[in-house]
């Protein structure tokens, strides 16, 4: 009955792992060939694969795990999806309803353990509830602000037989969607931006989730307002557009931070305005007279920054309603944009090139990524892990297309990239997929290489190996008294041999001139491929705002 | 009263912060009856750094739904976050913020005192529930402040035990 319901919901992929409390489901899986099941090597990998799948194609995938440790292994993956508003359905086996509360074998309180990292969750103890629950779960996961929904199903319910009832309508009184746009309020917002002397727009993941890139571009161009994106909003606005401020936040570009800190009207759309965006909250955008906040989740209004104009609505609907209401632009607009251009010249993104004498012959990560992005030709999906590799990949991103950069922004989950890249490749077999990771995060979920090899997925892994936890090392150097405490990674595997042990070809690269040929080989090789780029262990991420400081205080790369 | 281990922090200072309204909110919440409802609401309150001053739950007029009356300190968040966060919980059907509204707010206290001389308590509006060899049991209902005064008055009668409910509220008729 569960599997039939999943078919009915249009599910294509299930990422899962069988065990004692979900065996009744697995027994019948082969009777449902439309449901493609991918056997993972650890449940966390399953959640990240479903996450990468949904981020790449917009549809939810399903995760299966057994009770106790199986379900608890999902927690990090659920949290990652929850923080970044990614739809997912997790179906966990629970001990039989008659065993609940008896500390039965592999029993754990999964609802209790996951309620802080799921949009909603259900414990199903009766077969009669199952069709309704599954139908509701998909609705809740995919509508409004998306998120993971967990269904914990007792083993006896999985085995029970009942009349197949197809729920024909949804009735969830406690779940209201904010679809309606207040036109007057939208007009007020549009006029505030148009009439501003120094307007700035910041766009988050919500713009991508509601597919509002086109509407954002139209609004920004008509309003003559520059647009920056959050880390998760990358792709919401073309980086090469003259109005682009690129990435904002405490590792954002200098010209973006200058613009935000000098703006008089700041519009934040589809974003949470978290501490990574504001740095020291009391000094965030201090010259702003009017904050405008657009988000589909009303609880975001005033959670971190109290807006003067709030629009609780889908980003696309809101922007669509706003664009026609833009009035005459402020006369000082040209001056403001010229000022931003000057800041762009004054504070460019820069790095020490590998062939510069200051690099001491060490390979610089930016050279690797620039080569990768050149090959990606504005259309490949790039999945980054967490840490320096993530910020380098974000800042040197040069696309003008949405939805192609995937990373764990809110949760910052190390080990995300490889399984998420696998999920993305299942979702978009037509697209090249590049996985960028540091060696620290990579070994956290490296067991999923089996999945990439088993299914011969064309995932190219760009390992930026700096023999350390680079971001931790950089923070220790700069903000924790220069004490390098447990940030050096020694005794790591030989990544070429590790890849070969999984049956996957790999190459090691430590010189600039080897980068291109290695990338050529990776691209030409069918199936997964890893390049172990041994990069400069001292390479740092810039710009960066020192911890606890305001966005005004960003540090730039040394000359 | 449920004491939070965390004392309420200073109110948020956001750049555009308008005047900080009273951080303690009184909310009347209609919820779905279910095994997960209470733990989801209490978990939310804990992880958002709110602080429960009082809580009372009972069946509502509609089958399958309960009415909760919550008195919550918003902690370091802005006061309206309490309502907004509760509204995100799928089991929560409706949240009414009745903090500054004109409401009847009633609490119940049941107490056992050693004394048999309870005329003073009865005069205040208490009702005698039983009288036994070890003392008298009385009940009293009223506004929170009156209940507090009543509990103080009990001290003079040799209190053995006191059980006190959280407030339940209802808007006054117009």
Report the C-alpha gap between B148 and B153 in whole angstroms.
9
Residue A148 β-bridge partners: A88
Among B15, B78, B91, select the one facing A174 at the smallest CB separation: B91
Nearest residue of B to residue A124, measured between CA atoms:
B35
Report the C-alpha gap between A397 and A389 in whole angstroms.
12
Q: What is the CATH number of the domain that holds A150?
A: 3.40.50.970
**How many contacts (CB atoms, under 8 Å) link A and B?**
67
Residues A17 and A108 in one domain: yes
Residues A191 and A335 in one domain: yes
CA distance A121 to chain B (A): 9
Predicted pLDDT at A93: 97
The answer to whether domain B103-171 has CATH 3.30.70.1150 is yes
Nearest residue of B to residue A140, measured between CA atoms:
B90
Structure confidence at residue B1 as a pLDDT band (50, 70, 90): very low
Report the C-alpha gap between A212 and B73 in whole angstroms.
38
**Angle CA(B118)–CA(B122)–CA(B128) in degrees, nearest 5?**
75
Report the C-alpha gap between A172 and A152 in whole angstroms.
19
Please state the domain count of chain A. 3
Please list every residue in chain A whose beta carbon sits closer than 8 Å to the beta carbon of residue B40.
Answer: 115
B40 contacts chain A (CB < 8 A): yes
Among B15, B47, B85, select the one facing A286 at the smallest CB separation: B15
Nearest residue of A to residue B43, measured between CA atoms:
A116
Please list every residue in chain A whose beta carbon sits closer than 8 Å to the beta carbon of residue B41.
Answer: none
CA distance A122 to chain B (A): 8
Please list every residue in chain B whose beta carbon sits closer than 8 Å to the beta carbon of residue A115.
Answer: 36, 39-40, 43
- Pick from A526, A543, A61, A44: which is nearest to A258 by CA? A543
Please answer yes or no on whether B47 and A285 come within 8 Å at the CB atom: no
**Distance (Å) of CA A346 to CA A224, A328, A339, A341:** 22, 30, 10, 9
pLDDT mean for each 10 residues of chain A (559 residues): 93 98 96 97 98 97 98 98 98 96 95 97 94 95 97 95 74 86 96 97 97 98 98 96 97 98 98 96 97 96 96 97 95 96 97 91 96 95 98 94 96 98 98 98 98 98 98 96 96 98 98 97 97 97 96 93
Please list every residue in chain B whose beta carbon sits closer than 8 Å to the beta carbon of residue A304.
Answer: 14
Please answer yes or no on whether B14 and A281 come within 8 Å at the CB atom: yes
- Pick from A421, A413, A420: which is nearest to A386 by CA? A413
Predicted pLDDT at A178: 77
Residues A315 and A406 in one domain: no
Predicted pLDDT at A164: 67
Whether omega before A543 lies within 30 degrees of 0, making that bond cis, reads: yes
Joined together, the tokens standing for residue A478 give: 């700069």
Within-domain flag for A281: yes
Please answer yes or no on whether B32 and A174 come within 8 Å at the CB atom: yes
Within-domain flag for A382: yes
Q: What is the CATH number of the domain that holds A325?
A: 3.40.50.1220
Please list every residue in chain B whose beta carbon sits closer than 8 Å to the beta carbon of residue A297.
Answer: 88
Query: Catalytic: A426?
Result: no
Residues A277 and A413 in one domain: no
Domain B24-97 matches domain B103-171 at the CATH topology level: yes
Please answer yes or no on whether B93 and A174 come within 8 Å at the CB atom: yes
Among A119, A282, A303, select the one facing B81 at the smallest CB separation: A303
B131 contacts chain A (CB < 8 A): no
Report the C-alpha gap between A97 and A123 in whole angstroms.
10
B87 contacts chain A (CB < 8 A): yes
Within-domain flag for A365: yes
Residues in chain B: 174
* C-beta of residue A208 within 8 angstroms of C-beta of residue A236: yes
Please answer yes or no on whether B89 and A306 come within 8 Å at the CB atom: no
Within-domain flag for A178: no
Predicted pLDDT at A170: 86
Predicted pLDDT at A426: 98
* Cβ neighbours for A355, distance < 8 A, ≥ 6 positions apart: A512
Residues A217 and A310 in one domain: yes
Residues A284 and A361 in one domain: no
Within-domain flag for A536: yes
Residues A379 and A296 in one domain: no
Residues A254 and A292 in one domain: yes
Residues A338 and A363 in one domain: no
Which of A282, A315, A346 is the endpoint of a domain?
A346
Within-domain flag for A144: yes
Predicted pLDDT at B18: 40
Catalytic residue among A106, A191, A325, A447: A106
Predicted pLDDT at A122: 96
The structural domains of chain B, with segments of one domain joined by +, span 24-97, 103-171
Give chain A's contact residues with B (Cβ, < 8 Å).
111-112, 115-116, 119-121, 123, 140, 172-175, 281-282, 284-286, 288, 291, 297-299, 301-308
Report the C-alpha gap between A373 and A420 in whole angstroms.
19
Strand blocks (E) in chain B: 24-32, 51-59, 65-73, 92-97, 103-113, 127-132, 135-142, 159-164, 168-171
N-term to C-term CA, chain A: 64
Please list every residue in chain B whose beta carbon sits closer than 8 Å to the beta carbon of residue A285.
Answer: 15
Query: Catalytic: A4?
Result: no
Mean pLDDT, range B78-85, rounded to an integer: 92
Predicted pLDDT at B101: 81
The secondary element (H helix, E strand) that includes residue A532 is: strand A529-534
Catalytic residue among A9, A43, A136, A215: A43
Please list every residue in chain A whose beta carbon sits closer than 8 Å to the beta carbon of residue B15.
Answer: 281-282, 284-286, 288, 291, 305
Please answer yes or no on whether B77 and A175 come within 8 Å at the CB atom: no
Within-domain flag for A374: yes
* C-beta of residue B99 within 8 angstroms of C-beta of residue B80: no
Please answer yes or no on whether A123 and B35 come within 8 Å at the CB atom: yes
Residue B4 has pLDDT above 50, yes or no: no
Residues A43 and A128 in one domain: yes
Report the SS3 class of residue A15: strand
Assigned fold of B24-97: Alpha-Beta Plaits (3.30.70)
Catalytic residue among A15, A64, A136, A155: A155
Residue B97 has pLDDT above 70, yes or no: yes
Within-domain flag for A166: no
Report the SS3 class of residue A436: strand
**Angle CA(A304)–CA(A309)–CA(A310) in degrees, nearest 5?**
65
* C-beta of residue A43 within 8 angstroms of C-beta of residue A17: yes
Please answer yes or no on whether B16 and A307 come within 8 Å at the CB atom: yes
Residues A537 and A421 in one domain: yes
Residue B20 has pLDDT above 90, yes or no: no
Please answer yes or no on whether A115 and B18 come within 8 Å at the CB atom: no
Which of A294, A326, A346 is the endpoint of a domain?
A346
Query: Catalytic: A267?
Result: no
HEC states along A152-211? Answer: EEEHHHHHCCCCCCCCCCCCCCCCCCCCCCCHHHHHHHHHHHHCCCCEEEEECHHHHHCC
Here the ipTM equals 0.90
Report the C-alpha gap between A390 and A470 in whole angstroms.
11
B16 contacts chain A (CB < 8 A): yes
Query: Catalytic: A106?
Result: yes
B71 contacts chain A (CB < 8 A): no
Report the number of secondary-structure helices (H) and strands (E) in chain A. 23, 18
Please answer yes or no on whether B14 and A302 come within 8 Å at the CB atom: yes
> What residue numbers bound the domain in which A429 lies?
357-544
Please answer yes or no on whether B81 and A288 come within 8 Å at the CB atom: no
* Cβ neighbours for A501, distance < 8 A, ≥ 6 positions apart: none
CB count within 10 Å of CB B4 equals 15
- Pick from B161, B80, B74, B122: which is nearest to A312 by CA? B80
Mean pLDDT, range B95-121, rounded to an integer: 91
């Amino acid at each position: 009955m569960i599997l039939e319901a999943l078919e009915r919901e249009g599910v294509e992929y299930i990422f899962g792992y069988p065990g004692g409390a979900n065996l009744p489901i697995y027994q019948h899986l082969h009777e449902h060939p439309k449901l493609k099941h991918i056997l993972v090597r650890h449940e966390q990998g399953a959640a990240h694969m479903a996450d990468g799948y949904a981020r790449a194609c917009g549809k939810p995938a399903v995760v299966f795990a057994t009770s106790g440790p199986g379900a608890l292994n999902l927690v990090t993956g659920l949290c990652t999806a929850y923080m970044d508003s990614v739809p997912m359905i997790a179906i966990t086996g629970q001990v039989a309803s008659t065993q609940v509360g008896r500390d039965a074998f592999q029993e754990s309180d999964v609802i209790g353990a996951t309620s802080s990292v799921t949009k909603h969750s259900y414990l199903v103890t009766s077969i009669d509830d199952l069709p309704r629950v599954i139908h509701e779960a998909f609705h809740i996961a995919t509508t409004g602000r998306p998120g993971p929904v967990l269904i914990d199903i007792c083993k006896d319910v999985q085995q029970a037989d009942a009349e197949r009832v197809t729920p024909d309508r949804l009735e969830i009184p406690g779940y209201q969607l904010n679809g309606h746009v207040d036109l007057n309020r939208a007009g007020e917002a549009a006029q505030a931006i148009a009439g501003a002397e120094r307007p700035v727009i910041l766009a988050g993941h919500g713009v991508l989730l509601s597919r509002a890139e086109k509407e954002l571009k139209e609004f920004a161009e008509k309003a003559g307002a520059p647009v920056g994106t959050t880390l998760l909003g990358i792709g919401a606005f073309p980086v090469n557009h003259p109005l682009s401020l690129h990435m904002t936040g405490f590792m954002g570009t200098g010209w973006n931070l200058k613009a935000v800190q000098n703006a008089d009207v700041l519009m934040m759309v589809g974003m949470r305005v978290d501490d990574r965006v504001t740095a020291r909250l009391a000094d965030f955008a201090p010259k702003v007279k009017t904050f405008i906040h657009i988000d589909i989740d009303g609880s975001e209004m005033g959670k971190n920054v109290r807006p003067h104009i709030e629009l609780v609505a889908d980003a696309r609907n809101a922007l669509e309603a706003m664009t026609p209401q833009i009035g005459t632009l402020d006369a000082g607009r040209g001056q403001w944009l010229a000022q931003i251009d000057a800041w762009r010249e004054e504070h460019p993104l820069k790095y020490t090139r590998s062939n510069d004498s200051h690099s001491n012959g060490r390979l610089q990560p930016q050279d690797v990524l620039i080569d990768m992005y050149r090959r990606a030709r504005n259309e490949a999906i790039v999945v980054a892990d967490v840490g320096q590799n993530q910020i380098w990949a974000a800042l040197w991103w040069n696309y003008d297309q949405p939805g192609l950069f995937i990373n764990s922004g809110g949760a910052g989950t190390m080990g995300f990239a490889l399984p998420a890249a696998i999920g993305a490749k299942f979702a978009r077999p037509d697209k090249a997929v590049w996985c960028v990771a540091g060696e620290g995060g990579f070994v956290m979920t490296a067991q999923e290489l089996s999945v990439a090899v088993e299914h011969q997925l064309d995932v190219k892994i760009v390992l930026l190996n700096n023999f350390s936890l680079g971001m931790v090392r950089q923070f220790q150097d700069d903000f924790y008294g220069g004490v390098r405490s447990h940030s050096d990674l020694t005794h790591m595997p030989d990544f070429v041999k590790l890849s070969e042990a999984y049956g996957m070809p790999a190459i090691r690269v430590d010189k600039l001139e080897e980068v291109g040929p290695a990338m050529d080989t990776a691209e030409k090789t069918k199936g997964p491929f890893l390049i172990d780029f041994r990069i400069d262990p001292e390479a740092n991420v810039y710009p960066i705002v020192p911890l606890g400081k305001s966005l005004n205080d960003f540090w730039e790369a040394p000359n | 009263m449920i004491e939070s281990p965390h004392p309420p922090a200073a109110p948020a200072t956001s750049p555009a912060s308008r005047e900080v309204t009273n951080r303690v909110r009184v909310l009347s919440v209609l919820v779905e009856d279910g095994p997960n409802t209470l733990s989801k609401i209490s978990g939310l309150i804990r992880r958002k750094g709110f602080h429960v001053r009082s809580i009372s739950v009972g069946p509502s007029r509609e089958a399958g739904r309960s009415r909760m009356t919550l008195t919550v300190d918003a902690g370091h968040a802005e006061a309206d976050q309490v309502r907004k966060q509760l509204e995100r919980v799928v089991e929560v059907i409706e949240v009414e913020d009745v903090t500054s509204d004109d409401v009847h707010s009633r609490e119940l206290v049941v107490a056992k005192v050693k004394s048999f001389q309870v005329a003073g308590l009865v005069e205040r509006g208490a009702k005698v529930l039983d009288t036994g060899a070890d003392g008298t049991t009385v009940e009293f209902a009223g506004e929170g402040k009156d209940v507090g005064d009543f509990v103080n008055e009990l001290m003079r009668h040799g209190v053995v035990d006191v059980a006190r409910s959280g407030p339940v509220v209802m808007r006054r008729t117009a």
